[in-house]
């Protein structure tokens, strides 16, 4: 089973140039709502592993990316296409909402 792996700021910057479509779950170990959507993000990683990269970024340890994209509330799930942020879903949402946002990019 594929799950979303954790990345750091440097790896994030590399994804901007190397991946056509990717999803970043901005999370933190102390965040209760983040824990609620974590299995949904893992499910997204599993279902879309052949066509999109799905990763997690702990903003407590990676403040550069959080600052760059003005992440003020978490969970925040950012959807990128060709290096551009095209959608940002903040707060707890259903799997269907995450899936629909990703489907729009494919």
pTM confidence score? 0.96
Query: What pLDDT band is residue 28 in, cutting at 50, 70 and 90?
Result: very high
Q: Other CB atoms closer than 10 Å to residue 102's CB: what's the count?
A: 22
Tens of pLDDT along 42-78? 999 999 999 999 999 999 999 999 999 999 999 999 9
Angle at 88 between CA 83 and CA 91, to 5 degrees: 150
Q: In this structure, what token pair is assigned to residue 44?
A: 């997204």
Per-residue confidence (pLDDT) for residue 104, from 0 to 100: 97
Per-residue confidence (pLDDT) for residue 66, from 0 to 100: 95
Taken in order of first residue, the domains within the chain and their CATH numbers are 5-103 (3.40.30.10)
- Active site residues per annotation: 31, 34
């Amino acid at each position: 089973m594929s799950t979303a792996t954790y990345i750091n700021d440097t790896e994030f910057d590399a994804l901007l140039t190397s991946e056509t479509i990717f999803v970043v779950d901005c999370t933190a170990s102390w965040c209760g709502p983040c824990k609620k959507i974590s299995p949904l993000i893992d499910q997204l990683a599993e279902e879309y592993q052949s066509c999109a990269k799905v990763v997690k970024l702990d903003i407590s340890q990676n403040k550069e990316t959080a600052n760059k994209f003005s992440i003020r509330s978490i969970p925040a799930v950012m959807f990128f296409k060709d290096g551009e942020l095209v959608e940002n879903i903040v707060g707890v949402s259903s799997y269907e909402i995450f899936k629909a946002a990703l489907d729009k990019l494919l």
